[in-house]
Structure 1
Amino acid sequence: MSSNSSIEKKYSRWIVLLSVVIPVAVAVLFFVKIPNATPLPVLPPIYATINGITAVLLVVAVWAVKNGKIQLHQNLMKTAIGCSLLFLVMYIAYHMTTPSTKFGGEGSIKYVYYFILLTHILLSIAIIPLVLITYVRALAERFDKHKKIAKITFPLWLYVAVTGVVVYLMISPYYNF
């Protein structure tokens, strides 16, 4: 077995574990409120901005790799992953300390909002293993496999990042702080 294959094998359990644990933890923690916690209404615009930054990082990273700027691509992708982790921590902190906000729009905009929200949530779960597999394949220098899965991961991750901003913009008028 090559050392590259052993890198992929080494991380495969972590990929499966994180791909299950993160969505389950977020789902559970979404309903757990810290008693007497100070609400954190400042977080949604911050994590929406982080989603926007992630989207820009992803686009620039693809541009970088297509133009042979491999080190820049690697740095941008690591930063995008870091932004996603930062988003996740803030998102959990917000929902554990602050009451949920109901979308107040009516008519067809309500269906648009819920469609965007639902696809955002479902794809945010799906991209966890995709991002991790894509990253590990690059780490293992399996660039043929990395490129193949990156063609799937990139548009889905970009959609999640952009729709995170859209969801925030659509619900922000209904925050009660």
Structure 2
Amino acid sequence: MKNMWNILVENDRKTIIALTIVIVSLVVLLSYIPGYDGELPIWIKTLPLLNAILNSFTFLFLLFALFAILKKNVLLHQRFIYAAFTTTALFLISYVTYHFLAESTTFGGTGIIANIYYFILITHIILAALIVPLALSSFFSGYKRETERHRKWVRWTMPLWLYVSLTGVLVYIFISPYY
């Protein structure tokens, strides 16, 4: 009998579609759930900082993965990609937990800073939704050693994922004074 991982890999397109729908829907639904009214416990208040730290690690792991593959070190590249997926998964858990329990923090800046912030935020949100199927497609094609397919996916995935992870940190920096 095949294990669950083999089934997911063999049916990668269905897995990618299903995971994308679940993840994006969950994040969108969170914006419609009212947050907790009372004083939040300290562990919840620290989740945005944890999210920024996890995004920072994702960014670094992706950079290291890129450098490793440019040096033709496939094994090191794979390890950094696994690390990036791990920190991204942990980020997603933390993000969902925070936004399920707390209201979103609004940006209080004005003028040019507000314009810069909203540009970063809007592009971050759109590309974060897009990165889910791109990253999964890149991952599965690499895992299955479909080199040409993998290269086609990562030409888009790597720069966009780097952008999303970096702008996630920038969004936190912009709104951190308002927590």
TM-score, normalised with respect to structure 1? 0.90
State whether structure 2 residue 140 is matched by structure 1 residue 139: no
Unaligned runs of 5+ in 2: 1-6
TM-aligned CA deviation for residue 18 of structure 1: 1.1
Equivalent in the alignment of 1:47 = 51
Code of the residue aligned with 1:61 in structure 2: it is A
Taking structure 2 as the reference length, what is the TM-score of the superposition? 0.89
Match of residue 17 from structure 2: 16
- Tell me what 2:117 maps to: 113
Matched, 1:149 2:153: yes
- Percentage identity across paired residues of the two chains: 38
Choose 18-27 or 56-65, whichever is displaced more: 18-27
Aligned to 2:63: 59
When structure 1 is superposed on structure 2, of 9-18 and 43-52 the one drifting more is: 9-18
Q: CA RMSD for the aligned pairs?
A: 1.8
Aligned to 1:32: 33
Report 1:83-98 matches (<5 A).
Answer: 83-98=87-102
Structure 2 residue aligned with 1:102: 106
* Equivalent residue for 1:164, pick from 159, 165, 168: 168
* Aligned 8 A contact 1:55 1:162 in 2: yes
Q: Of the two structures, which has the highest relative contact order with CA contacts closer than 8 Å and spacing of 6 or more?
A: 1
1:93–1:8: structure 2 CA closer, same or farther, 3 Å change rule?
A: closer
Counterpart for residue 3 of structure 1: none
* Alpha-carbon contact 1:31-1:96 (below 8 Å) kept: no
Give the distance between the partners of 1:8 and 1:134, measured in 2 at CA: 12
Aligned length: 170
Could you tell me how far 1:65 is from its partner in structure 2? 1.0
Shift of 1:36: 6.9
